[in-house]
Structure 1
Amino acid sequence: MSKLILDVSVSLDGFSAGPNPRPEEPMGDGGEGLHEWAFSGEGPEGELDAGVRKELDAMVGSAIVGRRTFELGTAPWGGTPWPNMASFVVTHETRDDLLADNGGTFYFDGLESAVRRAKEAAGDKDVVVLGAELAQSLLKAGLLDVVWIHLVPRLMGSGTRLFDGVQAELIPEGKPLAGAATHLRYRVAK
């Protein structure tokens, strides 16, 4: 059965986006730097980081996305976060499905229904979670299964806190991998 996996880059001070997110800077001021590890592929740690990214891409069967992440991320992604893939946007405002420029489709639904539909769409793969507020809602509802954190050696000072006000027990899975970011994996205790 598909698992819901939060895969997120976060600064040492706990921010998953910088301050002042807006259409021209969807990750906020300085926030794009949190993802440099996934795209550079350079240096001795480049292969390790590239391997982490390839593993994620291979296991994703669908995505579940917060409304704000959808609104800010669609233009930089060029459509859905992964081409030709179903992405479910959690929102209280339903609307018609949206065929994206890259062959994927966005579906709009409430939290539990979006989770159910995303798991069905993922088949034998997993569902990746995008958005800090969505991750918090999934944790509170007991629906999030796994947390993959890419800890980036950067201090943002302010921005979007990843787990603001949420409590959960996370159980380490495997050893940390250190590249340009330190890659950590946890199972959510239920």
Structure 2
Amino acid sequence: MAGEGPDGEIDLGVRRQVDAAVGATAIGRRTFDLGVGPWGGTPWPGVPSFVVTHRTRHDLIGDNGGTFAFDGLEAAVRRAREAAGDRDVLVLGAYVARQALRAGLLDEVRIHLVPLLMGEGTPLFAEDRAELVPVGRPVTGSVTHLRYGVARP
């Protein structure tokens, strides 16, 4: 997504679309713990992030102007939707994405498929089943960008 590699400009275009659409994020506690330092605050400057956790705490203002709020899954997603208004809520973290899918809170899945096998980490949708409906066509730069709507029963 940094525009490096062959056809990197395509990846930058996808990144610009995501950046323009994000209104809030719902992230896992581990994603927060690992990301807050490198991000200098929230993943997108000035954009509120709602950390899904059982270890709640007072809101935290990041160095980049974004606010972190700590809550359970349903409350975090509800608050993120309210904060985002008509913009998108991005879910960061495989475990939170799985929880949101199970709870019927996920409308769309975007996968940025990087050609690198890491062999470890949290599986994205281990043991979960959902019907995914393609939204648009795949976009391929150095990374393949896929979008799917989550079908409702």
Aligned length: 152
Per the alignment, residue 118 of structure 1 pairs with 80
Which amino acid letter does the alignment assign opposite residue 116 of structure 2?
Answer: R
Per the alignment, residue 20 of structure 2 pairs with 58
Name the % identity: 66
Check if 1:163 corresponds to 2:121. Answer: no
Which amino acid letter does the alignment assign opposite residue 48 of structure 2?
Answer: A
Query: In the alignment, which of 20, 39, 55 is matched to residue 93 of structure 1?
Result: 55
Aligned pairs (5 A) from 1:72-83: 72-83=34-45
- Tell me how far apart the structure 1 counterparts of residues 118 and 33 of structure 2 sit (CA, whole Å): 22
Which structure has the higher relative contact order (CA within 8 Å, separation 6+)? Answer: 1
TM-score normalised by structure 1 residue count: 0.77
* TM-superposition CA deviations, 1:141-177 (whole Å, max 9, x none): 0100101111111122222211112111111111111
Q: Secondary structure at the match of 1:175?
A: coil
Give me the CA root mean square deviation. 1.1
1:42 CA drift (Å): 4.0
- Tell me how far apart the structure 2 counterparts of residues 117 and 155 of structure 1 sit (CA, whole Å): 35
Task: Name structure 2 gaps, 5 residues minimum.
Answer: none
Query: In the alignment, which of 120, 125, 132 is matched to residue 94 of structure 2?
Result: 132
Per the alignment, residue 136 of structure 2 pairs with 174
Task: Name structure 1 gaps, 5 residues minimum.
Answer: 1-37
CA contact (8 A) 2:110 2:147 kept: yes
